[in-house]
Structure 1
Amino acid sequence: MGYFHYTDLNAIYSMLTNKNLRLTDIRYLNDSMELREGVTKLLDVIHQIQPNENSAQEYFDKAKSYLEQGLKDSIDGGVSEDPIFVFSLSNQADCLSQWRGYGMYAIEFDPEVLREEVGRIYKCEYDNASKVKLVMEKLNHAVSEVSLDMRQNYGCNNESIEVLSDLIAFSTTLKSTGFNEECEYRVIASSSLSGFSDNVKYRVRGDILIPYFEVPISLNCIKSITVGPIKNQSLAFNSLYEFVKKIERVHQLEIGNIEYEIDVNRSEIPYRE
């Protein structure tokens, strides 16, 4: 099973020529409520977390308060010093709702190679019962980790910050059941903990500057590109095919492997005016 990123032709061209992924600040995605909804689920449950027999009540309570405040700060609508950036993927090939929602080109990645190059890839959860179970497990672990951190070194050090950042990243995988057809996976990163805080860039979308940063990849993780159900699909396919083969030949020489190739495909969904 591959991972597919649905997007426009400009993004495909950029990925092939610059060899990077653009992770976008989650606050500026199409669904502006995504982060708030996920964090709200965590805030609704964190009060239910109880200490175990090995927990010191004082530090356990302080850990819960620290995490609760950090979660609230992440959705306060203000300027963030440590925003979360994401790159969205789907395990659905040639999916009509994806073509309609995100763009008429899809780039397919090899999951194993992509993980080696960008790190963990998070699976989004849509089922409400599964979300409740995952939230409880995640919060229990987070509170215990921060409580131990405070007990060993009173006050919050980097380990507590990392736990909070991971908890916020996890919250972005809790999605509405209405989006379950997308079968989404995500590359998720905090700009500061990933070492990209000084490399945040901006692109224009309408009247807003959209923050993003780039994560380098190799062409080895790219398996195919599909042209969606667009007008003049054959013409678009032909020029894309020629471009990809040019990129492919250069990479074959660079890695010394003439068998390397990127497939170029057409969507089987018919185009309709």
Structure 2
Amino acid sequence: MLSATNRGDTGMLLYHYTNQAGFLGIMESGTLWATKIQYLNDNKEFFLALSIADEILKERLRTEINRDVVIRLIRFREALPRMNDVNVCVCSLSENGDLLSQWRGYASGLGGYSIGFDYEALKTGFNRHDYVLMKCCYQPQEHEDFINNVIDTILMMFEGQPEPDHAEIEKPSAASRLFQEHLSCVAAVLKDSSFSEEAEWRAISRRSLSPAELAFRPGHSTLTPYHKLPFDNRQNGCVREVIVGHTPNSDLAIAATHTLMQKMGLQVALHASQIPFRNW
């Protein structure tokens, strides 16, 4: 996963934790993998936002008197179950480039890598591919504020406009489709407070991707859909640093990585993790 931190005159860096195979694939292809949100390691993340949104919408419906707005809010609730099918893909982020929990979780615990990217270059490249970078939030009040803001934004956009097809309330409308799209982005950054140590960021697709845009890889128990997200390294040199993870052969690992960087024509800061950890 990625992280952001300050590194002197190089500006803010983002790190991607991965194992050896992932490191080679990322560096050789110039792409990161953005996973379909419903297939993340903790599948409760996505449904946390949907549950909160449902409660907020129910509360608003108790007090709303405008008939068009009532129908609109009901359609927002009707859209929640359909969000299981949206193809929103995310690439996870964290504000710490050398964090033990991330080495354990993303680098197979041994011989992994943390790739440091220039934040501005990465953000610019992601924007060209219709992705946005957002910081995760962990506090319940923040979660409610995010979702209320989505609801208020959509209602304001359609203020004064009649909501169509009152007699067929189960049918989606332009407002409910837009609500679904906006909530998908928010759902990607709402996390339980127990994960706050990760200080996570995420790159999120701004729209639901078409099936033709998805690739698939083997997962633990099912195929996992993902999207190949270029980071344009050759164009803007956004890889700035590589941290070699825990291994009994640290010197050899650094030497091999240095040779690989030379072969690829990359000048990056290269060093070993400073976290005391032994898994051998």
Q: Could you say which TM-score interval applies, normalised by the shorter chain?
A: 0.7 to 0.9
Contact in 2 for aligned 1:94/1:267 (Cα 8 Å): yes
Contact in 2 for aligned 1:231/1:271 (Cα 8 Å): no
Paired residue for 2:10?
none
Contact in 2 for aligned 1:150/1:156 (Cα 8 Å): no
C-alpha separation in 2, matches of 1:138 and 1:132: 10
* Root mean square deviation of aligned Cα: 2.7
Are the structure 2 counterparts of residues 196 and 264 from structure 1 closer, same or farther at C-alpha, using a change threshold of 3 Å? farther
Contact in 1 for aligned 2:38/2:46 (Cα 8 Å): yes
Are the structure 2 counterparts of residues 14 and 149 from structure 1 closer, same or farther at C-alpha, using a change threshold of 3 Å? farther
Paired residue for 1:180?
196
1:125 to 131, 137, 157: 137
Query: How far is the alpha carbon of 1:156 from its aligned partner?
Result: 5.8
Are the structure 2 counterparts of residues 69 and 194 from structure 1 closer, same or farther at C-alpha, using a change threshold of 3 Å? closer
Paired residue for 2:49?
38
Q: How does 1:193-272 map to 2 (within 5 A)?
A: 193=207, 196-219=210-233, 220-248=237-265, 261-272=267-278
Paired residue for 1:116?
124
Give the match's secondary structure for 2:115.
Answer: strand
Unaligned runs of 5+ residues in structure 1 are 250-260
Tell me whether 1:142 sits opposite 2:159 in the alignment.
no
C-alpha separation in 2, matches of 1:149 and 1:111: 41
Tell me whether 1:96 sits opposite 2:96 in the alignment.
no
Give the match's secondary structure for 2:33.
Answer: strand
Contact in 2 for aligned 1:71/1:168 (Cα 8 Å): no
> Partner amino acid for 2:200?
E
1:16 to 7, 24, 27: 27
Query: How far is the alpha carbon of 1:139 from its aligned partner?
Result: 2.2
Cα-to-partner distance string for 1:40-94 (whole Å, 9 max, x where unaligned) = 1111112333799xx992321222122211122224xxxx2x3221100111121
Greater than 6 Å deviation, 4+ residue runs = 152-155
Contact in 1 for aligned 2:46/2:187 (Cα 8 Å): yes
Give the match's secondary structure for 1:13.
Answer: helix
Contact in 2 for aligned 1:60/1:144 (Cα 8 Å): no
Paired residue for 1:253?
none
Are the structure 2 counterparts of residues 168 and 206 from structure 1 closer, same or farther at C-alpha, using a change threshold of 3 Å? closer
Instruction: Answer with 201-210 or 156-165: which moved more.
Output: 156-165
Are the structure 2 counterparts of residues 206 and 127 from structure 1 closer, same or farther at C-alpha, using a change threshold of 3 Å? closer
Are the structure 2 counterparts of residues 133 and 61 from structure 1 closer, same or farther at C-alpha, using a change threshold of 3 Å? same
Give the match's secondary structure for 1:48.
Answer: helix
Compute the TM-score of the two structures, normalised by the length of structure 2.
0.80
> Partner amino acid for 2:183?
L
> Partner amino acid for 1:136?
N
> Partner amino acid for 1:203?
R
Contact in 1 for aligned 2:69/2:155 (Cα 8 Å): yes
Alignment coverage as a number of residue pairs: 252
Paired residue for 1:258?
none
Paired residue for 2:78?
69
Give the match's secondary structure for 1:131.
Answer: helix
Give the match's secondary structure for 2:186.
Answer: helix
C-alpha separation in 2, matches of 1:152 and 1:40: 24
Contact in 2 for aligned 1:230/1:271 (Cα 8 Å): no
Query: How far is the alpha carbon of 1:182 from its aligned partner?
Result: 0.4
Give the match's secondary structure for 2:162.
Answer: helix
Paired residue for 2:113?
105
Contact in 2 for aligned 1:38/1:171 (Cα 8 Å): yes
Contact in 2 for aligned 1:196/1:213 (Cα 8 Å): no
